[in-house]
Amino acid sequence: MPDTVRVREDDLRAFVERALTSVGVDEAQARIVGDVLVAADRRGIESHGVARLRWFYVDRIRNGRIAARPSYEIVRERGTTLLLDAGNGLGHPASHFAMTRTIEKAREKGIALAAVRNSNHYGIAGYYAMMALEHDMIGICTTDSAHFAVPTFGSTRMQGTNPFAFAIPANEEPAFVLDFATTTVTYGKLEVYERKALPLKPGWAVDGRGNPTTDPAVRHTDGSLLPLGGFGTDSGGHKGYGLGALAEILTGVLAAGWFGASLTLEERPDAPSGITSHFFGAVRIDALRDPHEFKRDLDRELRTFKQSAPAPGQTRVYVAGEIEHENELAFRRHGIPLIGPVIDDLDELARDLGIEPVRRIAA
Amino acid sequence: MIGEEPSKIRAHEAAERDFIVRALRAVDVSESDAHDVADVLVAADLRGVESHGIARLDMFYVRRIEAGVVNARPNYTALSDRPTQFALDAGNGLGHPAGIFAMRKAIEKARDNGLAFATVRNSNHYGIAAYYAMMALDHGLIGLSMTNSTHLAVPTFGRQKTQGTNPIAVAIPAGEHPPFVLDMATTGVTFGRLEVSERKGKALKPGWAVDAEGRETLDPATAMTKGALLPLGGYGTGNGGHKGYGLGALVEILCGVLAGGLFGTSLGLDERGLHGGTVSHFFGAFRIDALRDGDAFRRDLDRELRTFDESTPVPGAGRVVTAGEPERAFTERYRSEGVPIDPKVWEGIDAMAERLRIEKLERFTVA
């Protein structure tokens, strides 16, 4: 297994574009996917970056499950709203399209929302919320996904990790970017613990009957994730469940896409596609108050958190998006690290597709 | 209180509402504002959220008006009034009428323009967040409501209180199924839950609270006197405490900062102290038919919610419910059986009635 390598973000983006155009995706769409995946890796969210390029996107296009050249249909459009049918194309360009329109509409009308159906996995939710920042707007984004989690007191998988993202611009401080799964942990975390043979923490997962478990092999025994807040209601598990259900209502139900029992699918390579729906929002700050004053106040607010005293044994208090922002600064300077199995997989993909592999930074 | 048997000493809903109006009229609140407050407080008691009902009438509202820190007759100022946005300065009046006023504006604007948001600053405690979100349901709209509050919770890895219980409420209309009504504090539990544990002499659960140094504690007295609440997800990041902290901070930003009200260190106040104009709120309303046919949406939401209702429960658990269902069951029950009011709360409101020289709230006892 090769060691971790570092790559320039431009080189990584170019590789994603090469891979996707070689399977028939048009250049503009491939560029957007490259941008979203590289943003995930640059922010240190490796689970949602190029590690998924082959399995989630290239393979599904090659086996015909995702349309390489989708036709978008605007199902309904009003001054402040948009419903898009993404024609079972890649989720990233469809989402980029919808969020761009949402921002344009918000510029005209103050606020706007969009829903997208018949789409696919779109990478990190934070990317689309963050598109609003340069327009002095607040960005909002959520998506549903194949089901991994039980509802409170349930034993059947009823919802995905259904993330919410909010991005709010500050002045000197990095933006407030909250991007979180509504489950306690993601499925990827179970994979990591299984590989390391470590017991799970209480509050992460249940077995096939819905009872709490710490068995790291729970994925193979019909187990499921728990909502944020854990098992039952004592520590607020019903709140995480409610947030997850809210995400599915705002996406699948509001977009007239897939929802409920029809989303109860393993996220396998042969799973049906076009099942994912998304939701976007943009809010102009200056319709409520002067944006410069707002951003200066947000600086003060964020500093109040950051400068508050840490608990014993802790070094500092962070605000949402700060760790990812620091990763971006470091990885822009030193290159994005790709661990052995990931670079190995990308090299193999390059050979399969007959394209140039990812260029590394010379050691 | 949550986790306790409801009190057997009850009041009729209508009598409770009249009593709250009497009390507020006695301290010079207008008839219309007094009715707004009564409506919100009675809704809380009916929904089984006793901590936010009549239990707070004296300490949070009447006494603050008597002390002159909250205005009985506030002047509202519209800071911004656009087709989809409205920003209000509530003139340090009671939070409930200001909340109802702003949410009505959001609803009107959403009916005209598809969706709308409203902020309110220089306001006060507004009761249950769900009340305002649910106002949208009568109009077939999705409703959103949030508020910040005096600080009770630490951030992840912190030891100083930087945010309140900062609730988020969302109400979404269904067809035949009751609506989806999510109303959640962004802390693991509310302060009231610590009080219940202390009264019962029970240890706290992990993930609820920290001591003065920011270390997790299971002792209710330690948590209540010098400690603080933890965000939803508990201590540290292992169980997602940073997500609850992030949500709480989001509410603080959308309320205090976006409304141009107080935020940050200026909200580090004693929740029960005499202060006013500290709180800001955020409201939203959204027309479903701006995106898809409203009837088709409601039918689909029925199906979605029933999928949850009908899913297999864990052995030993009753069944799976959707957000808002327990509160709806309480409301039905207490409408017919009377509203339960804790004996300690009765003492307090009786004393208040004597002080204000108003007729006491009529009560009856159930078996």
Token pair of B115, please?
Answer: 């969706």
Instruction: Answer yes or no: do A245 and B323 touch at CB < 8 A.
Output: yes
pLDDT at A270: 65
| Residue A135: pLDDT band with limits 50, 70, 90 | very high
Interface test with B, best of A45, A73, A75, A81 (most B CBs within 10 A): A81
| Residue A318 contacts B, CB cutoff 8 Å | yes
Q: List Cβ neighbours of B5 (8 Å cut-off, separation of 6 or more).
A: none
Collect all residues of chain B within an 8 Å Cβ-Cβ radius of residue A80: 84, 113-115, 290
Residues present in chain B in total: 367
Task: Select from B240, B253, B291 the Cβ nearest to the Cβ of A176.
Answer: B253
Q: Which residue of B has its CA nearest to A247?
A: B170
Instruction: Answer yes or no: do B85 and A288 touch at CB < 8 A.
Output: yes
pLDDT at A283: 97
pLDDT at B217: 96
Interface test with B, best of A249, A278, A286 (most B CBs within 10 A): A249
Alpha-carbon distance B107 to B84, whole Å? 10
Low-confidence ranges of chain B (pLDDT < 70): 1-4
A241-274 pLDDT, tens digit each: 999 999 999 999 999 999 988 776 655 656 778 8
**Which B residues in the span 74-93 are in contact with A, Cβ-Cβ below 8 Å?**
79-80, 82-85, 87
Cβ neighbour number for residue A326 with a 10 Å cutoff: 14
For residue B173, give how far its alpha carbon lies from the nearest alpha carbon of chain A (Å). 11
Closest CA to B53 of B161, B130, B162, B113: B130
A336 pLDDT above the threshold of 50: yes
Put simply, whether the predicted model's pTM sits higher than 0.80 gets the answer: yes
CB-defined contacts A:B, below 8 A = 277
Average pLDDT (A16-20) is 98
Instruction: Answer yes or no: do A75 and B292 touch at CB < 8 A.
Output: yes
Closest CA to B179 of B145, B136, B118: B136
| Residue B241 contacts A, CB cutoff 8 Å | no
A1 pLDDT above the threshold of 70: no
Token pair of B330, please?
Answer: 């309480």
A118 pLDDT above the threshold of 80: yes
Give a three-class secondary structure readout of chain A: CCCCEEECHHHHHHHHHHHHHHCCCCHHHHHHHHHHHHHHHHCCCHHHCHHHHHHHHHHHHHCCCCCCCCCCEEEEECCCEEEEECCCCCHHHHHHHHHHHHHHHHHHHCEEEEEEEEECCCCCHHHHHHCCHHHCEEEEEEECCCCCECCCCECCCCECCCCEEEEECCCCCCCEEEEECCECCCHHHHHHHHHHCCCCCCCCEECCCCCEECCCCHHHHCCEECECCCCCCCCCHHHHHHHHHHHHHHHHHCCCCCCHHHHCCCCCCCCCCCCEEEEEEEEEHHHCCCHHHHHHHHHHHHHHHHCCCECCCCCCCCCCCHHHHHHHHHHHHHCEEECHHHHHHHHHHHHHHCCCCCCCCCC
| Residue A118 contacts B, CB cutoff 8 Å | no
Instruction: Answer yes or no: do A297 and B260 touch at CB < 8 A.
Output: yes
Task: Select from A154, A261, A283 the Cβ nearest to the Cβ of B320.
Answer: A154
Backbone angles phi, psi at B81, to 5 degrees: -140, 95
Pairing of strands B209-210, B228-229: antiparallel
| Residue A343 contacts B, CB cutoff 8 Å | no
| Residue A292 contacts B, CB cutoff 8 Å | no
pLDDT at A363: 67
Interface test with A, best of B304, B305, B306, B321 (most A CBs within 10 A): B304
Instruction: Answer yes or no: do B214 and A311 touch at CB < 8 A.
Output: yes
Average pLDDT (A120-138) is 97
Q: Which residue of B has its CA nearest to A163?
A: B243
What integer best gives the mean pLDDT of chain A? 94
| Residue A361 contacts B, CB cutoff 8 Å | no
The torsion region of residue B16 among left (phi > 0), alpha (psi -120 to 50) and beta comes to alpha
| Residue B290 contacts A, CB cutoff 8 Å | yes
Collect all residues of chain A within an 8 Å Cβ-Cβ radius of residue B266: none
Instruction: Answer yes or no: do B208 and A185 touch at CB < 8 A.
Output: no
pLDDT at B1: 43
**Which B residues in the span 214-233 are in contact with A, Cβ-Cβ below 8 Å?**
214-215, 232-233
Q: What is the share, in percent, of chain A residues with pLDDT greater than 90?
A: 88
A51 pLDDT above the threshold of 90: yes
Alpha-carbon distance B329 to B344, whole Å? 25
Pairing of strands A81-85, A111-119: parallel
For residue A301, give how far its alpha carbon lies from the nearest alpha carbon of chain B (Å). 5
